């Protein structure tokens, strides 16, 4: 998990797609099979499928930090 730089979501998703393409093209399997961008105000509740149990507290921490900035 990391706080993405300020740029359009489409750009981040395109960068990830290029990374996956490069990794698989070199015979490596990417560490993650997909990424999801979430808004701190919505949090993990907007995600489909499984996710780690510690995701909600991490998102809250980033949201609190952003709110104070």
Spatial distance between the Cα atoms of 66 and 60, rounded to a whole number of angstroms: 10
Q: Are residues 1 and 31 in the same domain?
A: yes
Averaged pLDDT for residues 25-32: 91
Backbone φ and ψ for 7, nearest 5 degrees, come out as: -165, 165
pLDDT of residue 67: 66
Kindly tell me if the per-residue pLDDT of 66 is higher than 90. Answer: no
Pick 4 or 54 by higher pLDDT. 54
Q: Are residues 19 and 44 in the same domain?
A: no
Q: Are residues 30 and 49 in the same domain?
A: no
Give the predicted TM-score (pTM) of the model: 0.64
Q: Are residues 20 and 48 in the same domain?
A: no
Residue 1 has which token pair? 């998990």
Q: Are residues 1 and 30 in the same domain?
A: yes
Residue % of the chain over a pLDDT of 90: 28
Q: Are residues 52 and 30 in the same domain?
A: no
Backbone φ and ψ for 39, nearest 5 degrees, come out as: -90, 135
Pick 25 or 68 by higher pLDDT. 25
Kindly tell me if the per-residue pLDDT of 2 is higher than 70. Answer: no
Spatial distance between the Cα atoms of 50 and 17, rounded to a whole number of angstroms: 21
Domains in the chain, number? 2
Give residues with Cβ within 8 angstroms of 24, minimum separation 6. Answer: 30
- 63 is in which domain, residue-wise? 38-69
């Amino acid at each position: 998990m990391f706080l993405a730089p300020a740029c359009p979501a489409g750009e981040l998703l395109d960068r990830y797609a290029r990374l996956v393409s490069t990794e698989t093209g070199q015979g490596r399997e990417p560490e993650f099979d997909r990424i999801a961008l979430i808004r701190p105000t919505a949090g993990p509740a907007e995600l489909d499928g499984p996710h780690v149990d510690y995701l909600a507290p991490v998102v809250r921490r980033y949201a609190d930090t952003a709110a104070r900035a």
